Every structure is written in C-alpha cells, then in structure tokens.
Structure 1
Amino acid sequence: MEMGIEESIENGYNRVQEDTRGPLIHHERDECCYGGVDGARKSSKEHLWMVYFSTFIAVCGSCEFGSSIGFSSPIQAAIRKDLHLPLTEYSLFASILTIGAITSGMIADFIGWKGAMRMSAIFCVIGWLAIYFGKGALPLDAGRLSLGYGVGIFSYVAPVFIAEIAPTNLRGGLTAISQLMFAIGLSGYLIIETVLTWRTLALVGLIPCLILLPGLFFIPESPIWLAKMSHHKEFYAALQRLRGKDADISNEAADIQDNIEALQKLPKAKTLDLYQRQYLRLVVITVGLMFFQQFGGLSGVCFYVSEIFVSAGFPSNAGTISYACIQITVAILGASLIDKAGRRPLLLVSASGLVLGCILVGISFYLKAHELATTGAPLLALIGLQVFIGSFSIGMGIIPSVIMSEIFPINVKGAGGSLATLVNWIGAWVVSYSFNFLMSWSSYGTFILFAITNALAILFIAKLVPETKGRTLEQIQSAINNVSEN
C-alpha cells in the first residue's frame, strides 16, 4: 500500500533519529554535504520538478545581480547630464555597488539560504527605489550601496543554494544557470536602455525581486542547512519535497545526518581558522579564482561597455546589443558544457580567450591612438570585446563560484564563502572605480594590463585548480594534492 506524505516524513524522521551507525564518512556520504545532495539517483526525472522550480526562484537573484551591474553602463552619459555629476562622483556611484557581500556566508549560515535571499531582495527593492527617486549624488549613492549589499549576498547564496539541492549529475549545469541569468540581467539592460530612461530602468530592476519574494514561500530550504541546524523534521520534509513524494529518501537522509553529526563535532570555524594547514590550499584556490575573475577586467568592461565602444569609435547601441547577444548565447553553451567538459578545461579555455580578447581591444586602442587603420580599429575592438565576454561567460563567470561551493567542507563553508566573496568584491570595486582613470591614462595600456593578469590566471589554474566535476570531497582533496605536486 502506498505511503502518504505525512507518514513518509514521520517514518523518515524516525529513521534518521534511530540510526545508530557511526559517522561513516566516505565517498558516497561526502557528496551529500559537500556541494550537492545525491538522493535523486533513485528518483525519476519527473520527481525533480521542485529542484528545477527552486533553481528558477534562486536564479532570480542572479538576474538581479546582472541587472544591477548592467544598469551603470548605459546610463552614464544620461545620469551625469541630468544630475550634473562629475566623473569622480559617477565612478563612485557605479563602483559602490561592490561594497556588499562582506558577511554573505555568515548571514546564510545564521538565517538560512531562503532567509538570506529574502533579506537580499528587500535591500535591492530599497536600493532601486532610492535610485528612482534620487535627486542628487547622496541618495543615489545610498540606493546603490543598499543594492550592492543585496546583490552581494545573492552572488554567494544563489549558486551555493542550488549546489546543495541539486543531484550530483545536475549540480554544475544547474549552478551554471546562475551565470546565464546574470548574463540575461546584464544584457537585458544593455538592450532596453536604447528605449527607456535611466529612472525607468531603475523600476525595471525591481522585477526579479518581485518574482523571488513570493516564490520563496513555495520552495523548501536547503536540506543540508536544516540538518546542520538540527531541524530534523523540516530537513526530512524538505528532502522529500525535492526528491518527490514517492521517493525513498531514508538512506539519503541518514547519510546526510551522519555527515552533519560528524562535522558538528569539529570546532566552529572562524575566518582565522581558514589559515590552518588543512584548509589553506582550499583558500588559495578559491581566493585566487575570485581575484583573477575580477582583476582580469570584468567589472571595468561590464560597468562601462557602452563607453568603451564610444571610445573605440564603434556605434554604442550596435556594439552593446551585439555584446549582450553573445553573452547570453555563450552563457547557455557554458551551462550545457560544465557537467560534460568539466570545470578545469573550461577555466583554461576561458582564461585563454580573455587574454586574446584583451589583446585585440588593446591593439584597437593603440591603432586609434596612433591614427592607424582608422577604419578597421573599431571593428577590432568589437571583436575583442565579443571574445572577452564570450570567454568569460563560458568559464570564469560561474565556475569559481561552483568550485567554491564544492571544495569547502560545511563547517567552514560560511567563513570560506565570505572570505572569497569579499576578495571578489574588493577586486570588483578596485577595477570598476579605477577603470575610467586607467582609460584616461592609457586605453590600450589598460587592456594590456588585463591581458597580463589573465595570462597569470592560466598558470594559476594549470598549477593549482583541481577538477571537481562529479567528485566527492575526498576525491577533490586528493586531486588538489596531485595538482599541487605536479
């Protein structure tokens, strides 16, 4: 006779509570706690609709993130004209978005992934409204700061939440949808700015939040977080919803519980604990990837792409629309490849493409500065920027966050995630604030600096970054040791 959902949850809860086995931590069990719940192995695809729906709600935060970054690119000339802002004040307004995310991992550990996303959405709504009603630099900066805090949390929480609810075989692809939605949010702004004013664009930025806030009421919390917080019945109910009401999740629930109990015997990690020997390589890998993601030129290009096209002598509207289209197309390709090609190969291809893209743009600005090939130089800038954003979207855009969610043990995931995200956003602020001044110093020199940084990223990935596709924590740790020794 088929078991009802309430009876299934109660029996499963009892199964978890009565399991007297010791905390066996091996390859199959690790996967539950470190970057992906693997209970869907026994579930058919039709049982995963809640995983897909939960992913959709979470990636609305990624879309909000992209919208926030895309907003500053097309409206620079209009907002400076309307409010009489000098370049220094506009650079502060654009770059202050990156102040957020300092406490993202710790907030998520404390109030849960859903609570963190709800709080993020509220900060974003406040930020967009402040920008819409702003009449001067101060309210605009306050709104941008609130918006930055909100999307800073989204940037960490959304991919990790998805990684924790997704089956192993779908983990990378579903997490990569975050990058796709980021691309849609950013690219959408670059396209619609041709027909909307900057204040109307601020209202458009509310749309992802208006979908996410009610949607959070209909999706479960991460089972791993619930188990970590000892909410046993809620944990089992969430896992049952994610795997389907008819799925037998008793073994998976017991595996997760065993791992959580073993891990909670470890002392609670603080940021300083990350520098212990067993975590140091993980910190170097994640922080290094976040560093190269930003100092390779991302924020400078994303925040000011319209102005780059103007400086290169290419029509701004045509350039930004083509830029937006290639970003979305390649982001879709990257999402489909991440669980097939693997993380490490895509990172190497991505970083190599970033080097090429920066060199092409740098050559274009060099030719323009010396009045050489005046007809072909703008086209070369277009090609270079297309190569740049396409290469970024296929690898360096999302894979650092995926790897971060996969290699940190749950007892240090909050502290590790906060540190890595902090480094990422400090880099974003430095690059976005200094970009206009670097371009004034030397337009081609700026992109040559970015090319050198991306070349160093290739060496870093080849030397230190392991393949994490479909691997448990123990396998990842072994790969890290092998890569480091080569």
Structure 2
Amino acid sequence: MEGTGMITGAPVHREGKKLWQYLASISASIMAVGVGTALAWTSPVLPQLYEPDSWLVITKEQGSWVSSLLALGAMLGAILSGPMADKLGRKKSLLLLTAPFLLSWVIIIFASVLWLINVARFIVGVGVGAACVLVPTYISEIAETSTRGTLGAMFQLFLTVGILLAFVLGAVLSYTAFAIICALIEIAFFASFVWMPESPVWLVNEKRKPEATLAMTVFRGDSYDPSEELAEMQREAEQAASRKSSIFDLIRTRAAKKALLASLGSMFFQQLSGINAVIFYTVTIFQASGSSMSPELASIVVAIVQTVMSGVAAIIVDRAGRKPLLIFSSSAMAVSLVALGLYFNIKANGNDVSNLGWLPLTSLTLFMISFSIGMGPIPWMLMGELFPAETKAVASGIAVMLNWFLVFLVTKTFPMMNDELGADATFWIFAGIMVVGTAFTYFVIPETKGKSSQEIQEELQGNGRFKTTNA
C-alpha cells in the first residue's frame, strides 16, 4: 500500500503531482555534487603534491591531514546545522552553506602554502557536514510517502556524481582550473535553489500555516487537497511544542532509543566499511596494487560504477525496501573486501600477481556497487525517516557528527594501518566489521518502506514487531 498519511484508513487520499518534489530535490542535491567534489578532491590532487617536481611538495603524513581535516570541519558543521535549520529554516540554511564552500575553493585557488590548504579543507568540511544534515532533512520533509525513498536516495546519487566529476576533472585539468569548476557548482546550486519553496513541515512548526499551504500547493499541484497532510504536520508540531525538545528526548521513550540505535548503528557501519578510505585513496590503492590499468583511469571506472548504481538504488529502494538492500549491501561488501585483502596478501608474500591485475579493480567495483545500493544511501534516508519532527534536527546532527568522526578516524588511520598491518589485514578488518553490520541490520533496523512518520513511530514503540518487519 502506498503511504496515505491517513489516520482513519478511508481510501479518499489522492496522490499529488510529483514534478516540483523532484525539481526541489534535484536542486537541493546539487549541493551534494559540491559535497562529492570536496570529498574526492584529495584523490587526484594528493598524488600530484607528493611528486618531487610539484609546486608544493608535501609528505604522506601532511597529506593524511589534508584528507582528514575535512572530516573535523564536518563534525562542527553537523553540530551547528540542527539549531540553524530550526531557527532560520531549511531553505535559508542551505543557501547560506554556499559561503563556506566558495570561501574554501577561493583559498585553494590562491593558496601558496600548505597551512592555507589545511584551513580551506577545514572550512569546506563545515559546509559538507551541515549539507549532510540539511539536504536529507529538506528532501524527507517535502516528499510524499510514496516517493520518499527515491527522492531520499538522490542525495547519495548526486554525491557520487560529485566524486566522479572530481576524479575526471582531477585527471584532465590543472590544479587551479579544477578548483574553479568546483566553485561554479556551488553557484549553480544557489541559482537554482533560491527559487524553491521552504519545507512545509518547518513552516507548520513556525505557525506559518498559510505559507505551508502555499508550499504544499507547489509541491503537490493545484488539484491536490493538502489539508490532511497539513493536519498531520500540525498534530506532530503540537506534540513537539507540548514537550519542549531536548537531547534527552532521544533516549526517553522506547521508540526514540530504537530510532537512535538504528540511525547511529547504520552510520557506524557505513563508515567502518572503509568507504572513505577507498574514495580518498583510490588512486593510491591502484598504484600499490600494480594493476595493469592506470590508477587515474581505474579510479574513474570505480566512480562511474558508483554513480550508476546510486541511480539504480534511487529507482529500486521504494520497491525492494530499505532492510533487504542493506543486508545484501553489507554482505557483498564483506566478500569484496576479503578478495581485495587476498590480492594484497598474495602480493605481499612475494608471489607473482601479474595474472591477477583484474582482481583489485573487480573487488573495488563490486565494493562500490554494493555500497551504492544500500550502505551508501540508506543510512542518510533512515536519518530523515526514523525521528519525529521535534527531534529530527538534533538526532540528525548527532548521527552526522558520528559519521564524520568515523570518516576522520578511518582516513587518518588508514595509511598508518596500511603501513603497520599491511593492506591485506586492513581490508580484512573492514570485512569483519561488515559481517557484524549484516547481523546488526537483520536484528535492529526496522523497515520504513511506504510508511508514514506516524506508522514508523508506532512500530518503533511496539513490542516484537520491530525485529520481524520485512526482513
């Protein structure tokens, strides 16, 4: 059954038009392209800066800071984004985020010393962390129940487009031209998003119902009667107002605890799969593997696969459900990480790997495919779906902060783990974590496909139904 937002269950609900929900989600997701380019910028740029004839020669240790400072900035951005979104609104907050992105690219264009690049990476991190909270929140609040999965998957899809763009531009453009294109993406976001309506959920919470009705008319079309959906939002807003939201609300009820555990758990396993280590160091991994394909080309192939599969995820997530996709995703990632570790193990033991040149590319491609249809988009989607309006901003801030702390941890320690333990043991550790992630998904994460916010909360609160739903 497609979500009706109905309380009575009487079949009078007509679905609204989807065009403006798609347009607004695509426009907001241009910000995610900017996030992707910022994330992957280090992959083509750092190997250039390690070259002895580079305009700025840096060491591997300095490079690990350039990679990981973004994650520290993102933690700060995640903390600030919740209160900012509640105070200024989702739309204004998103438009304001163009400032840290543009500032960072301007610094990178004119930087002549390493510390300026580090400052730029931290600043862009603040924008990245806030965007990771605000874009999924905005999309989940404007989408109808029936399109929420597809639109929610757009954030990850556009993020992968940004990563692919960074790999391609980094391979063919100069350092400066690359940064200029990245800055232009932010200007394109601002120019398109400035015309979009504010989130009706936020407007209702602010007691601005006429504006919320107007926004709903844009998002659902003129012939749609938004009164029922608005009444549902109103009820949620009144419940939120009656109990002043605080961080303790996240552990006060059974539903809140389960939502928090599921959301933080999915973020934990998303990052401890090693995904960002793979993205940040794709070129380096291929250089180390001695694969027959050039590292730059191999990294572009991996990014293309990730982008295509994120598109597939957006199409199938409302049909297949969140939980089956997550279980498939983490299992397949475990297999590909074991295979990748095996290749490096054979190579480390001095054996001939010339006839295994296909294995690193195949393993990483399978890893990216599996990540892109489950572990990539779904934790962001769950973050927008599992929490009621009054705790969504705080909970999303905490989830994104955890996410970026783990990004920092993984990207900072990955080169060291590689040196100390070897690439084989490093990838096998990530594989073990994915096996645990599969079990966690099966037992803890609820299915949210096709359910209204109210139904999700009732299910989280309910006894026993939580575990067995749609496994």
How far does the alpha carbon of each residue in 1:354-373 deviate from its partner, in whole angstroms, 9 at most, with x for none? 10111111011111111224
Q: In terms of mean alpha carbon deviation, does 338-347 or 174-183 score higher?
A: 174-183
Q: Normalized against structure 2, the TM-score is what? A: 0.91
* Cα separation, 2, equivalents of 1:210 and 1:450: 37
| AA partner of residue 51 (structure 1) | Q
Gaps of 5+ in 2: none
* Cα separation, 2, equivalents of 1:41 and 1:377: 57
Q: Does the alignment pair 1:374 with 2:353?
A: yes
**Counterpart position of 1:72:** 42
After superposition, the CA RMSD in angstroms is 2.1
* Cα separation, 2, equivalents of 1:465 and 1:254: 29
Gaps of 5+ in 1: 1-25, 32-39
| AA partner of residue 326 (structure 2) | L
Could you say if the C-alpha distance between residues 261 and 484 of structure 1 is closer, same or farther in structure 2, counting changes exceeding 3 Å? closer
**Counterpart position of 2:153:** 176
**Counterpart position of 2:231:** 254
**Counterpart position of 2:135:** 158
| AA partner of residue 110 (structure 2) | F
CA contact (8 A) 2:388 2:457 kept: no
Could you say if the C-alpha distance between residues 323 and 43 of structure 1 is closer, same or farther in structure 2, counting changes exceeding 3 Å? same
**Counterpart position of 1:321:** 300
* Cα separation, 2, equivalents of 1:268 and 1:484: 25
Could you say if the C-alpha distance between residues 265 and 87 of structure 1 is closer, same or farther in structure 2, counting changes exceeding 3 Å? same
**What's the CA shift for 1:379?**
1.6
| AA partner of residue 344 (structure 1) | K
* Cα separation, 2, equivalents of 1:377 and 1:434: 27
- Secondary structure, in 3 states, of the residue corresponding to 1:467? coil
Equivalent runs, 1:58-457 vs 2, <5 Å = 58-80=28-50, 81-99=54-72, 100=74, 101-269=78-246, 271-278=247-254, 279-314=256-291, 315-441=294-420, 442-457=422-437
* Cα separation, 1, equivalents of 2:14 and 2:213: 16
CA contact (8 A) 1:30 1:472 kept: no
How far does the alpha carbon of each residue in 1:74-126 deviate from its partner, in whole angstroms, 9 at most, with x for none? 11121233312111111111111112223222221221111221121111011
Q: Normalized against structure 1, the TM-score is what? A: 0.89
Question: 1:465 pairs with 420, 429, 445, which one?
Answer: 445
* Cα separation, 2, equivalents of 1:426 and 1:123: 20
- Secondary structure, in 3 states, of the residue corresponding to 1:267? coil
**What's the CA shift for 1:163?**
1.2
**Counterpart position of 2:20:** 50
Could you say if the C-alpha distance between residues 217 and 41 of structure 1 is closer, same or farther in structure 2, counting changes exceeding 3 Å? farther
Identity, in percent, stands at 28
* Cα separation, 2, equivalents of 1:249 and 1:433: 48
**What's the CA shift for 1:283?**
1.0
Q: In terms of mean alpha carbon deviation, does 221-230 or 239-248 score higher?
A: 239-248
* Cα separation, 1, equivalents of 2:467 and 2:131: 35
- Secondary structure, in 3 states, of the residue corresponding to 2:18? helix
Could you say if the C-alpha distance between residues 27 and 173 of structure 1 is closer, same or farther in structure 2, counting changes exceeding 3 Å? closer
CA contact (8 A) 2:33 2:161 kept: yes
How far does the alpha carbon of each residue in 1:212-232 deviate from its partner, in whole angstroms, 9 at most, with x for none? 112222110000011111122
- Secondary structure, in 3 states, of the residue corresponding to 1:73? helix
CA contact (8 A) 2:4 2:13 kept: no
